Amino acid sequence: MKLLRKTVLCILIVVFGITAIGVAINHTLVTVANRSYDVDYFQNDVFVNQPNLDKDSPFTFFKILYRRVTQPREAARPANPIPVVALTKANLLDLPDDGMFAVKLGHSSLLLKMNGEFWLVDPMFSNRASPFSFIGPKRFHAPALSLSQLPEISYVLLTHNHYDHLDRQSIQALKAADPQYFVPLGVGAELQSWGVPAKQINQFGWWDEQTLSNGKLAFTPAQHFSGRGLTDRNKSLWGSWVLQINDTRLFVSGDSGYFDTFKEIGKRYGPFDMGFIENGAYAAYWPGVHMTPSETVQAALDTKSRYLVPIHNSTFDLAFHPWFEPLEKVSDKAQQARVALLTPRFGEVINIQQPGTFPKWWKQVMLPRYR
């Protein structure tokens, strides 16, 4: 009996110890605005999708964890180096100021040069998409441009606060440039906790618009979720962006499952010269918050995007599919649907007004047995 009491006591001590450590870590990770928002998609102190998604089964997490630990993976990471075109500040400054250019830096990070001004979208330059430097999804490749080589950034667009999209190291490296940040509701509190002045932060709800000196910016819905710790799930908003500069219109999907609102975005703001739409990290466990390649192509059609540039792939292992599968499948689906697909290497400059053609670079990285 004494041994049983000691065993139970030891288990309780371990459980309480782990809980205390978890609470302490969570406190350092989470910054919540602690306020209400007068919008119909903020309910019971959290943001909700419209229409709202069914709640996951409490067993889903354990199913995913079990599969991650026990099931062998096929080509989870590339066996050969991902090709990256190394960029410098000089390369970017040499691009004509009266042109419109886009560069994929890695994952969902984009660098835009629009009428001589530089924009960053979801800047993620860290080695891991994680709150920790020693654990979590690790990059397949270095960013196409180092933080030290960034030109002066005027504007930053953030789609939501997940670690693969909102990176503290990257935000803090931008302080000297004093950019204006355009962010979803609730994300401003996170930025302010990292030292970004409130005057540089512009928060948006769904369908909010802001007039620019040479165009317009609109924050549009996505079907996803948010959170950086144990206690802040859906305390900040998520979404997509519409950017119009002069006569050029771009759509950036952020992370999203497929939903009918893509049609409404296309109706209100399309057609778009280019759609940067997520294509990767999908799985049957979470069909509502990430799109399959066929859904990515359909989203391009719904938003009336003239060219589709798939993002959110080939940088981190965030699901169960082979690293190359999103590009393989979206290439086939786009061809079947007659959607113009652009697949530049990371660091390769896209002339938005006159895009060229790009080879299927991932074919050369795949092992022969997968080709």
Hey, where are the domains in the chain? 89-370
Determine which of 13-27, 151-165, 178-192, 325-339 has the lowest per-residue pLDDT on average. 13-27
Q: Would you state the pLDDT for residue 196?
A: 97
Please name the fold of domain 89-370.
Metallo-beta-lactamase; Chain A (3.60.15)
pLDDT band at 13 (very low <50, low <70, confident <90, very high): very low
Residue 358 has pLDDT above 80, yes or no: yes
Q: Are strands 305-311 and 340-341 parallel, antiparallel or unpaired?
A: parallel
pLDDT over 60 at 20, yes or no: no
Taking a C-beta distance cutoff of 8 angstroms, is the pair 273, 240 a contact?
Answer: no
pLDDT over threshold 80, residue 26: no
Q: What is the separation of C-alpha 186 from the centre of its chain, rounded to a whole number of angstroms?
A: 17
DSSP 8-state secondary structure symbol assigned to residue 344:
P
For 220-238, the pLDDT digits (tens) are: 999 999 999 999 999 999 9
| pLDDT at residue 131, as a whole number | 95
Residue 273: is its pLDDT beyond 70? Answer: yes
- What is the model's pLDDT at position 52? 80
Average pLDDT of the chain is 91
* pLDDT, position 69: 81
Confidence of residue 11 (pLDDT cuts 50, 70, 90): very low
Residue 125 near residue 104, CB atoms below 8 Å: no
